[in-house]
C-alpha cells in the first residue's frame, strides 16, 4: 500500500514473480506408471506448510514424493492402454534435473483436497511420454499429498 497525495492508500498492481527451485529426481517404472521419484525433504517441508496454514494433516501419495510422467491404471479407471515397456526401460534409474515452484496449488474434489507444486516443462519428461506413445503437452506437478474428506 502506498499513500497518494491525498493521504489515501492505493494498491498498485505488480507483476508477480514466481521463484523456481532446482532439484534432481530419479525416473522409475512402477505398476504401469512412469514417475520421477523426488527427495522426501521437499515434500516434508511443504506438507508442514499445508498443515500450518489449513490445520489439516495430509496423507502422502501412494508413490511417495513424485512427478507423474505417465499415469498408469487406477482403480475404477475405465481407460486402458498399453505402455511399451521396452521403449521406456532405458530411462529407468535415470537421474534428471527439474525445476519446481514454491507456490502450493490445490484442488478441492469430492473425495478430498489434493495439494501439489507446479513443475516447469521438462524435455526429458516429454521424451519419455513420447516414447511411451503419449502426447507431450502435459502440465507436470510435484505431488505433496491429500486430505481425505
Range among 7-16, 51-60, 80-89, 111-120 rated most confident? 111-120
- Read off the pLDDT band of 138 (50, 70, 90): confident
- In this prediction, residues 86-109 reach a mean pLDDT of 89
Q: What is the mean pLDDT of residues 67-91?
A: 69
Q: Are strands 95-101 and 66-70 parallel, antiparallel or unpaired?
A: unpaired
As a whole number, mean pLDDT of residues 29-43 equals 87
Q: d(Cα 147, Cα 88) in Å, to the nearest integer?
A: 32
> At 16, is the pLDDT very low, low, confident or very high (cuts 50, 70, 90)?
low
Question: Strand, helix or coil at 29?
Answer: strand
Per-residue cell: 99: 525445476
C-alpha cell at 73: 491404471
Spatial CB neighbours of 84, under 8 Å, sequence gap ≥ 6: 131, 132, 133
Average pLDDT of the chain to the nearest whole number? 80
Share of the chain above pLDDT 90, in %: 30
Between CA 138 and CA 102, with CA 32 as vertex, the angle to 5 degrees is: 40
Higher pLDDT, 7 or 137: 137
User: Who wins on pLDDT, 83 or 69?
Assistant: 69
The whole model's pTM is what? 0.78
| The pLDDT value given to residue 42 | 93
DSSP 59: B
How is residue 21 written as a grid cell? 527451485
Amino acid at each position: 500500500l502506498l499513500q497518494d497525495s491525498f493521504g489515501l492508500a492505493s494498491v498498485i498492481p505488480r507483476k508477480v514473480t514466481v521463484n523456481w527451485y532446482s532439484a534432481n529426481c530419479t525416473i522409475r517404472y512402477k505398476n504401469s506408471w512412469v514417475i520421477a521419484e523426488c527427495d522426501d525433504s521437499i515434500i516434508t517441508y511443504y506438507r508442514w506448510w499445508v498443515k500450518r496454514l489449513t490445520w489439516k494433516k495430509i496423507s502422502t501419495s501412494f508413490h511417495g514424493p513424485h512427478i507423474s510422467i505417465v499415469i498408469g491404471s487406477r482403480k475404477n479407471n475405465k481407460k486402458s492402454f498399453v505402455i511399451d515397456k521396452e521403449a521406456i526401460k532405458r530411462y529407468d534409474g535415470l537421474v534428471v534435473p527439474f525445476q519446481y515452484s514454491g507456490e502450493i496449488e490445490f484442488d478441492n474434489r469430492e473425495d478430498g483436497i489434493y495439494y501439489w507444486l507446479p513443475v516447469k516443462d521438462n524435455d526429458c519428461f516429454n521424451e519419455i511420454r513420447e516414447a511411451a506413445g503419449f502426447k507431450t503437452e502435459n502440465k507436470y506437478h510435484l505431488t505433496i499429498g491429500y486430505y481425505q474428506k
